[in-house]
A and B are shown apart, each in its own frame.
Chain A
Amino acid sequence: MSASALLEVRDLSAHYGRVHALKPTSLLVNEGEIVTILGPNGAGKTTLLRAMLRLTPSTGQVFFKGKDITGLSTHRRAEEGIIMVQEGRGLFGQMSVRENLTLGAYTQPSGTMSMDDRLDKVFALFPRLKERINQIAGSLSGGEQQMVAVGRALMAEPKLLILDEPSLGLAPRVATEIIETLGALNRKGLGILLVEQKAPLALKLAKRVYVLSLGRIAAELPATDIKSHHDLAQYYLH
């Protein structure tokens, strides 16, 4: 295991009934690194993330900061500092923006930082949320909902932030705004694992790319090696 490894996944494998959705897969995210997983629809990207967090039954091993967390349940992995922004945002639509954000700090012991200070840190990144603080989250626009989802994840002070298609359903301008915010967070040292279908957007950020196809890692390569869709297509068709 690398000395600077933040997350290491070894031979993670998952089934949906008889379908082998994720074949033995290994990957590594180092401290302070942004890694992207690219792949077409049905490649197994979301299954891989869900298996990492034990939201889906799986076999294989998961290490976080050198510690074997394979046996830990999902909520214990969150306590360790692995926080995921789920596909579709996973917001609690009937709760207000404030309640959603407050739930983000669920794992944080009281007394370390006041809730208002935590909220202010999120508002510094997404000022629009301050205006919407008492609004029901389900009534926000798609972009604002994604901001709440990312803001809620940040309330937990994650060591590793995992995002499952954060640009899904967003206008290009809003998606770019979210990606730029993630870049700013990474420059402050936050490790990020980003799953995306929109390769150009993800490649703006990532240094290293895993290409997932048909439930297995088809390639691991530097982001600079991918110049066009054509470069990816050869792996998708692998």
Chain B
Amino acid sequence: MTGTGIGAPVRRKEDQRFITGKGRYTDDLTRPGQAHAYFVRSPHAHAEIVKIDKAAAEAMPGVLAVLTGDDLAADNIGGLICGWMIHSKDGSPMKAGAHPALAQGKVRYVGDHVAVVVAETLAQARDAAEAVEVDYKLLPAIADTATARSSKVVVHDVAPDNTVYEWHLGDKDATEAAFKKAKHVTTLDITNNRLIPNPIETRAAIGEYDMGTDNYTLYTTSQNPHVARLVLSAFIGIAPENKLRVIAPDVGGGFGSKIFIYAEETVCVWASKKVGRPVKWTSDRTEAFLSDAHGRDHVTRAQLALDDNGKILALRAHTIANLGAYLSTFSSSVPTYLYAPLLSGQYDIPAIYAEVDGVYTNTAPVDAYRGAGRPEATFVVERLVEVAARELGMDPAKFRKKNYIKRFPHQTPVIMNYDVGDYGASLEKALEMADYKGFNKRKRESAKKGKLRGIGFSSYIEACGIAPSQAVGSLGAGVGLWESAEVRVNPTGSVEVLTGSHSHGQGHETTFAQLVSERLGVDINNVNIVHGDTDKVQFGMGTYGSRSGAVGMSAITRAIDKVIEKGKKVAAYAMEASDKDIEFADGKFSVAGTDKSMAFGEIALQAYIAHKFSGQDLEPGLKEGAFYDPTNFTFPAGVHICEVEIDPDTGVTTIERFTAVDDFGVVINPMIVEGQVHGGIAQGVGQALLENAVYDESGQLVTASYMDYAMPRADDLPSFDVGMTVTPCPSNPLGIKGCGEAGAIAAPPAVINAITNAVGHEDVPMPATPRAVWHAIHKGKAPMAAE
């Protein structure tokens, strides 16, 4: 390790601009002649649009255009798509209802896009939006996940029972056989609460059409600008791919919600040509609550079959997954292939069977949110395991250890082939750090103060580094999930890396530069990371699913390898040796067995001046690209332990200790990795204690602002004890597994297991708000947070 190489806690290069207010987020940009868009949104969860009268709005001051779904249709603009085909058990394809960017005929959730007003100023656009008269014929609405299939309300005619698919995975017969011979069965009914991602930067977009070149530019808050361009071109049909440039500048957090291709960015690009001006839209927080894709929202019955020694025999789960009113970009894959393949957890479970019914409701679309499917799976497994241990009177740590997978590779009954891990090592370390032995003493001390104390575990696993393209293709994905990189060495030896990954808080400008610095021996300050602009960067798949390290950096590694190979050839000419004798180490090309060497920068210059070799023998220049397709998912895993104290008078839960021990494989920058763990835990604790998206029966979002949606604040959280164990990932050149989602996946069951441990029974809903916990303590029964 050098001071700035792999494994060093290098301070972030990107921070200078963020701490001085010089970041450039989409809303910070002002394009010459820019006009402003404001969307007329449905105030109703479900209604027919009888008529839209734009005349009054069009006559308002500053108004440039008022556009509706009819205008979109007239221009042959296609609808938004869902890019992952899921087939039902019976082989039928999922039932995808049409999703126009501006509603055509019907609105299906509160916040659905009805019309857009483009005006000189935002205030004028908003004033005029109030003057757009929409005549609605109200329809009854369904918002509830559990009852959506039996509701008389029909969200999309293509799915008369509101069922998108009835999907399954695993061996049903083997699982039923295992349950039949089980000595003990643990059963849980679980609601995984609906969440709203809430990056602090709301979504924004500027569409700009250049009449002179017939080119479009979209500035947008995206985690994956190339995918956005592909969808906008190939499916929505706004512009040919070569005529559309998508730029995602600094992006203020994503957590999944900025993966998707939304109505607003589509409309801004389209409208910019209609009005002949750049069109800017910035979501306000209320719009974000209403129209960003939400997360989670599962209702599950899950069971674990055990023999009389506490060995797990089988697991089965039936889940209803709320997909909202329309299928968002990757929504269909989240409760299926990102969920059920993780139901084996860290355990050797011989038989697993999962059924998932995806349902339409009159709520905002639901799609990937930090963890995406894996938190839901982990919650099922880790609650089941904890409760099973309690029911059998076994220590939950020992119970887990007994059932851990201990040999690798391990093929689970649900697709995944775990390559490497040492779950026992993480558990031991976590028990030590959490002072598990001292828990009973601390519990007694709490009792003396009249407080309840509980401890809970979560032994999570996730599948990251998504994903081998062939594998996901066979499961229905519409795209491949490789990543691309180009390493451009300049004549002076400085380096630009063009990456298809996108940083929106992860610190790629630092970690990627660390990799280059380590491998090429170039000063980290002489490495620039370029991302987020389709005109600069080759096609790339973007950042989500903890993939930028395992996949994105692997692509960079491959490109670096090629640069070194080419450099050796240049060095051979420059030093008049055979290229077989050239070695590269510590930033120097040297001739084996001699004292001849040239620095990386000198060779770069030689490559470009091309004086020492013939252009017929060797191409000048030093620039190499690579597309890296992973050979397997990666499997970060670990153990999180949460210890809570509860005030029985108020039901308030305080997290007294939170210990996380994770195995992320090789770590590039421990400071950044720990930061990712902290942030993930905070979102997981948020789900467990605070956050809940609530729709009322009429489909109105009750939690549409920070007044009612409880975001984790500094005083809701403790400091975290974070540790690591390392088993390098064998399936990528760097040994990286990924760290971005671990906390959000691991924390919810750890917290709920701790609370149920303190309360003494399992009937505590999530989020375990003070109200819910108080009822759980005093009634033995807690009503759900939703009325």
Asked if A and B bind, the verdict is: no
Residue ranges of B at the interface with A (Cβ–Cβ < 8 Å): none
Residue ranges of A at the interface with B (Cβ–Cβ < 8 Å): none
